Structure formats: structure tokens, C-alpha cells
Amino acid sequence: MPVPRRRHCSSRRDRRRAHTKLEAVAGIVECPKCAAPRLPHRACPACGEYNGRIYKRVKAVKEAKQ
């Protein structure tokens, strides 16, 4: 019984996979305070702020207060 050599060509495969990378980037938002990339609904790793409050102590923030 004959067997197909390949299901789809490489361009068709790459067109399908192109969307997976785009969705991974869409899960990153910009911090409104310092414009650093952060995950949505998480405190910012750069300034520790989320929803107008500081939830996480960051070294740079401590040095600025002293």
C-alpha cells in the first residue's frame, strides 16, 4: 500500500507554527510606571509595583529611599 512521503510542505508547516511564537509574546505587558516588560497580573520585576502599590522590595527602590 503506498504511503504519503510528507503530510505538508515546509512552508505550510512554518505558517502554522508562526502563530505560536506570537501568542507567547502577547503574554508580556509593559509596566505603566517604569515601562519594563512584565507578566500580566504580576508585580513588576524592575520596580516591584502592581496596581499603584509596591508589593515587592527591589534593590533599586531601596537605594532610592536612602
**Residue 46 in contact with residue 58, Cβ under 8 Å?**
yes
Binder of Zn ion out of 8, 15, 24, 47 (CB under 5 A)? 47
Residue 46 near Zn ion by CB under 5 A: yes
Residue 43 near Zn ion by CB under 5 A: no
Binder of Zn ion out of 15, 44, 51, 55 (CB under 5 A)? 44
Beta-bridge mates of residue 38: 29
**Residue 44 in contact with residue 33, Cβ under 8 Å?**
yes
Sign of CA dihedral 30, 33, 39, 40: negative
Minimum distance between the CB of residue 8 and Zn ion, rounded to whole angstroms?
43
Interacting residues toward Zn ion by CB under 5 A: 31, 33-34, 36, 44, 46-47
